Amino acid sequence: MVNLAGPSQGWHLGAHMSVQAWWLALIGVSVINICAWILAGVLPLRRAAGDPALPTRRRQLLLSAPFVFGCAFRSVFPRADVQRICVVDSWLSAVAVGRTVAMIAELSFAAQCALLLRVLAVDTRKPLAYGISRAIVPLIVMAETFSWYSVVTTNYIGNTMEESTWATVALLMVIGLALVRPRLQGSMRAFVGQALWIIAGYFVFLATIDVPMYFNRWRGDSAAGARYLPIGAGFHDAATRWIVTMRLEDWRWEMLWMSLYFSFGVWISVSLIRAPYPPSVAASASAATPSPAPVTP
């Protein structure tokens, strides 16, 4: 472990306190998120015996748990993978630990999104949307592979490919939800309409800010002649080296995306438990690939 925190005086003290305040805020939000998961998910489902959407809600509840609690863990032990920086001097701050938790959480969230689209595709008889729902989790598995490549080698090209894959999934979700929305009714139609705007905004963020940022980091490292870690040494480094720092300049970008991810992202996960699924959802959830809708004059 290496400690980069310098003397607590002048502007440096202010920066240190800013990072500490942000970290404590993340922990506070995580406590609220866990309470929301219990109040909006666990307790209502225990009283929802007559809900026709209960099987799907239970799946969403189980899938959201790794994401909610995974984000809480990452809020208590925040770290930046390639830089190996953290705020807590513990083996739980090791990048290998945090990346494993993140992988499980993100795959669970991807499965939540796929389940939403799958149920709606079956209910509205949209085979293309159903096909998209089947592709989401495999694509995120690929994204996680790219992420691990960056974690192990410290090469930002992996992060560039990871975020590009997430952008592809976001675009596919927009297409899938746009296909099913015209056949939906009432509150579910409104829910999907809001989801389309959120996912479209996420895609724009990835395409214009996140992906270019990682690409520029990779290009800068390449221009500087950076030497990347081999696979074996990289795994050992990710598991045994963490750098404790409270410097604002080290955390400035991480503070932005983590604040959004560990708050807004978790709220989306919880909202998928309470989505106003159509009445036929119980049968749809276990149905096979939807057949094409009959042609009506």
pLDDT tens digits, residue range 230-256? 999 999 999 999 999 999 889 988 998
pLDDT interval class at 280 (50, 70, 90): low
Cα torsion 132, 136, 137, 141: sign:
positive
Given this model, what pLDDT does residue 166 score?
98
Q: Is the pLDDT of residue 9 over 80?
A: no
| Contact in structure between 170 and 202 (CB atoms under 8 Å) | yes
pTM over 0.95: no
Cβ neighbours around 292 below 10 Å, total: 9
Residue 5: both structure tokens together: 């925190």
Q: What are residue 86's phi and psi, to 5 degrees?
A: -155, 180
Range scoring the smallest mean pLDDT among 76-80, 154-158, 289-293? 289-293
| Contact in structure between 130 and 120 (CB atoms under 8 Å) | no
Cα torsion 22, 198, 104, 161: sign:
negative
Q: Is the pLDDT of residue 226 over 60?
A: yes
Given this model, what pLDDT does residue 233 score?
96
Rounded CA-CA distance 82/96 in Å is 11
Of the candidates 169, 167, 238, the one whose C-alpha atom is nearest the C-alpha of residue 209 is 167
Q: What angle do CA 89, 228, 5 make, to 5 degrees?
A: 25
Cα torsion 128, 202, 42, 45: sign:
negative
In the block, which residue shows the tokens 């866990």? 34
Q: Is the pLDDT of residue 285 over 60?
A: no
Given this model, what pLDDT does residue 52 score?
80
Q: What angle do CA 214, 216, 218 make, to 5 degrees?
A: 70
